[in-house]
Structure 1
Amino acid sequence: MSIFSGINGFIFDLDGTLVNSNGVWESIDRKLMEKNHIMLSDRELHQAAAMTYEEVLEFFCSKGLRYSLEQLRSESNELAEKEYRYNIFLKDGAEEALKIIKARGGKIALSTASPRRLYEPVLRRNCVYGMFDAFITTDEVGADKDHPDIYLKAAEMIGVPPWECIVFEDVLKGIVSAGNAGMVTAAVYDEYSSEDYVTMKQIADVFLMSFRDILPMLMNN
């Protein structure tokens, strides 16, 4: 039986899942820290790239940064806007997967920590914005992805019960939260979350090195 049997709702994370953007965040973090005369190793910056704003703030403040969360968000997003508008692309096979899901009548939602000023330009530039039925951010639900709120809200917005939804995520905590909410989980490999590769492969319902891995299953479902 296909992993997609009985699945009518498809909930996608953005950064590191649908798009190759975490390298951009590593560059942005480097610029912010250099501006504040704080030096971090390449490994530390690599780790921070896949973190949430809250996690990044805690980590950077432990290194001497004196920013509020709002200041960190504002400066980071300002640096990111041009990149999201012009220089970030979908992961291999992502567009094809979205097209197949849409053609078969599936409902598609985006659940992301990135604000609209970032997710809308990158999705429009890559010609997939119109495939989404709903968009929800961690700010809008008031909880990060340690909690299932964002996935449950996404399911509600597309009108599909949680147990008929599959969540695509590149970070371990997202996979855990979505699984705890009774959803099917698909872990998507990203080099910035590679330290959790083994664990995600063990606990997710399916592990994808590429969206091309699931194209035959989607077409035959």
Structure 2
Amino acid sequence: MLTLQSLIKKKHKMVIDLKHYNGFIFDMDGVIADNHHYHIDAWREFCKRHGLSFEVGAFTSKYFGKNNTDILQALLGKSLSDIEIDLLGEEKEAIYRELYQPYIKPLDGLIDFMRELRIQGGKIAIASSAPQSNINFVVEKTCIKEYIDVSVNGNMVKFGKPNPDIFLKAAELLHIQPQKCLVFEDSFSGIQAAINAGMQVVAVATTHKKEEHDPALTIISDFRELL
């Protein structure tokens, strides 16, 4: 059973004391749900429809964790209007939701972990580069709505990850100082964004394997390790 006396362990050493934090900020894709492959499949189909080349390794290393504005403009090699970004982004996200809906589930241990955080008085935010339509989809299908205090999507900040804006916005809405927030992230750009925000971060090894992450980080495979 988790209490705020609990410590996240890494290599048998005590690393992060959960009782130090009042706010817990979760990225969504790859953290709340392990949906990396479904986003890859959706982007592959999107690129096919638009006659764009697609290579999984290059795409993952360059774009995962970034918002649709940055990804679409890079893929298409030109600036896009807000309307174009909205239309193209929603096209891709509709493909993703159709592919993922039959299989969506929360990452192992997530619901129990969130429940214990709330029991102990912690506040919980989602901070995701995804559009709000995807956040609503995942929150509903994983049955975590009752645990979420605030959510921040990519359209609510000017600059996407690795800029810290999205995590700072989440802390602001939680009314908690950044240094009192703990972030859970899977992408390299998201981890850097949390560090840039002055927050401690736990790496979730879904999109990237444990050995791919900076060994100085606290790294977990799923939330069962925190219970």
- TM superposition score normalised by structure 2: 0.81
Matched residue type, 1:155: A
Aligned-partner SS, 1:110: strand
Number of residue-to-residue matches in the alignment: 209
**1:114 aligns to 2:130 (yes or no):** yes
Contact (CA 8 Å) 2:41, 2:96: kept in 1 or not?
A: no
Q: Shift in Å at residue 111 of structure 1?
A: 0.2
**1:208 aligns to 2:216 (yes or no):** no
**1:57 aligns to 2:72 (yes or no):** yes
Identity %: 26
Which 4+ residue blocks in structure 1 deviate beyond 6 angstroms? Answer: none
Aligned-partner SS, 1:28: helix
Q: Write the distance in 2 (CA, Å) between the matches of 1:39 and 1:10.
A: 38
Alignment gaps of 5+ in structure 1: 216-221
Structure 1 residues 48 and 70, CA gap change in structure 2 (3 angstroms): farther
Q: Shift in Å at residue 43 of structure 1?
A: 3.4
Structure 1 residues 182 and 122, CA gap change in structure 2 (3 angstroms): same
In structure 2, what is the equivalent of residue 81 of structure 1? 97
Counterparts of 1:1-221 in structure 2, within 5 Å, are 2=7, 3=16, 4-44=18-58, 47=61, 50-52=64-66, 53-61=68-76, 68-83=84-99, 85-190=101-206, 192-194=207-209, 197-199=212-214, 201-202=215-216, 204=217, 206-215=218-227
Structure 1 residues 116 and 136, CA gap change in structure 2 (3 angstroms): same
Contact (CA 8 Å) 2:108, 2:222: kept in 1 or not?
A: yes
Per residue, is there more helix in 1 or in 2?
Answer: 1
- TM superposition score normalised by structure 1: 0.83
Structure 1 residues 120 and 83, CA gap change in structure 2 (3 angstroms): farther
